[in-house]
Structure 1
Amino acid sequence: MSLSLLTKTFIFLFFIYCFTLQAQTSDTLENKTKQTKTHLNVEFSGILPIAVGENFMTDGMDFNYGLSFSFKGYFNDHLFFGLKFQHLRADVADETLVGVFEHDNVNSYLAVGGYRFILDEQFNIESSLGIGATVYNNKKTTTTFNEKIDFEDDATTMIISVATSYRITNQLKVFIKPEYRIDFMRIDTAPIRQDFFDEAHFLNILFGIRFGY
């Protein structure tokens, strides 16, 4: 499946942003903030999920909240790699569009990598790219014959994010992280509706804490 024009545009802008920010990194600043760097981070965050675009998630689902957990290791003080788990919760807004179920638990398992820009002793910016697998667990607990409906849809997920963090102590930071998420769905449907179900797009806002070691 080829990426949509919107997807390609966001990827291009993401890498232009990273290149521009990297060019502004100062060696003097590196020496000044060396003592504040951490080499292993664990993050916990809440998510405000916002479905965007013309697709089944935007028109057929109502997203309530999300949670995220990740840990990552840093190399060369800047490059990092890690693993991330993300959970989104949604209720069905229109059964005629998405099917006869009540709510959706969306669980994602991703590998992430990126670059840390150290602005000063208090503020850091991290740009990252995550790729992994997602399971949509669709459920309905109340039916006419008291039978539960429980089925799954699979997707490949890509997340582009830029986080700004503020250091409270050497081991504790708070951060805000806007992210653009694309789920490439594997749903069998009528050809005339395929474009509507091919991709789900999100613009999520994360607020959380980061423990560094």
Structure 2
Amino acid sequence: MRALTFIIVLLGFQMVLSQEMKKEKAFFLEPLFRVYGIVPISFGDNYLAKANDAKISAGVSMSMFEYHDFRLTAGFDHIYYDVNDVKLAGTVDHSRSNAVYGIVSYEIPVVKSLTLQPYLGGGWSEINFMRQDNIPLNSNNSSVDHQQGGHFRIGFYTDYRIDKIFSFFAGVNYVKSKYAIDTAPEFVSFFDHAQTVQVNFGIKVGYSKKEKYKEKMDN
């Protein structure tokens, strides 16, 4: 009788513990990588918007874990520009915009294979001013100058999963950068900031342990 009582109590304890684990499980170690193209659209009264034509560029990002549907992600953007106004750009032929960023995103399921992930964040920004060397047999770009600063970004991804590991995604984000610059006062407001809307598209690689866990708990 005591043994039967003990077994019943033990089973009841296991059921309660399982329910609590189901409620409390919130952290999932889920490496996730994105590789994407960028269509940048610079605007406003600033150097990148007025003196350059933006080119289709690229970026990459990585996230390691998910907590209550939130993700912390680190990434890098590298954007190409060709100068279209030498009067404004001076001796510069090309520009390169680099950004290292961190974002916090939140996953919102739409349907089984489609999720929406709004995010916000910021990080470090840099513009490199490049000039084409006019030396015979040497057509490399050389750096004329650079300026650095910080930026803020906000946007969203829309992920469409094609199997357990791969997803296609597209998204839009707004990036506002502010640079530290040492130049004549009348030129500061033209060179010390940038505003860009980025249309992103690419591939996401990652396996969802959270979904596997939920399926296991539901069964």
Taking the aligned partners of 1:139 and 1:77, their CA distance within structure 2 comes to 44
Q: How far did residue 77 of structure 1 move?
A: 4.5
The secondary structure found in structure 2 opposite 1:119 is: strand
- Residue-by-residue CA offset, 1:36-70 (whole Å, 9 max, x unaligned): x9932100000111101221111111111210100
Taking the aligned partners of 2:73 and 2:40, their CA distance within structure 1 comes to 22
Q: Is the 8 A contact 1:41 1:73 kept in 2?
A: yes
Q: Residue type of the partner of 2:126?
A: V
- Residue equivalent to 1:138: 129
Cα 1:168–1:101 shift into 2, 3 Å = same
- Residue equivalent to 1:3: none
1:59 aligns with 2:53: no
Taking the aligned partners of 1:197 and 1:52, their CA distance within structure 2 comes to 13
The secondary structure found in structure 1 opposite 2:111 is: coil
- Residue equivalent to 1:160: 154
Structure 1 runs not aligned, ≥5 long: 1-30, 32-36
2:80 to 89, 105, 110: 89
Q: Is the 8 A contact 2:128 2:143 kept in 1?
A: no
- Residue equivalent to 2:167: 173
Q: How far did residue 139 of structure 1 move?
A: 1.3
1:111 to 98, 102, 116: 102
Q: How far did residue 107 of structure 1 move?
A: 1.6
**TM-score w.r.t. length of structure 2:** 0.74
Q: How far did residue 204 of structure 1 move?
A: 0.9
- Residue equivalent to 1:13: none
Cα 1:134–1:102 shift into 2, 3 Å = same
Q: Is the 8 A contact 1:183 1:199 kept in 2?
A: yes
Taking the aligned partners of 1:193 and 1:119, their CA distance within structure 2 comes to 47
Q: Is the 8 A contact 1:172 1:210 kept in 2?
A: yes
Structure 2 runs not aligned, ≥5 long: 1-21, 23-27, 208-219
- Residue-by-residue CA offset, 1:166-205 (whole Å, 9 max, x unaligned): 1111211111111101111112232233222231000110
Q: Is the 8 A contact 1:42 1:210 kept in 2?
A: yes
Q: Post-superposition, which runs of at least 4 consecutive aligned residues in structure 1 deviate over 6 A?
A: 144-147
Taking the aligned partners of 1:159 and 1:40, their CA distance within structure 2 comes to 22
Q: Residue type of the partner of 2:192?
A: D
1:72 to 52, 63, 66: 63
The secondary structure found in structure 2 opposite 1:194 is: helix
Taking the aligned partners of 2:151 and 2:73, their CA distance within structure 1 comes to 16
- Residue equivalent to 1:201: 195
- Residue-by-residue CA offset, 1:67-126 (whole Å, 9 max, x unaligned): 010011343351000210110001111122133111112221112212111122111011
Q: Alignment RMSD, CA only?
A: 2.4
Q: How far did residue 143 of structure 1 move?
A: 4.8
- Residue equivalent to 2:113: 122
**Range moving further from structure 2, 95-104 or 121-130:** 95-104
- Residue equivalent to 1:45: 36
Q: How far did residue 144 of structure 1 move?
A: 8.6
Q: Residue type of the partner of 2:73?
A: G
The secondary structure found in structure 1 opposite 2:100 is: strand
Taking the aligned partners of 2:67 and 2:133, their CA distance within structure 1 comes to 54
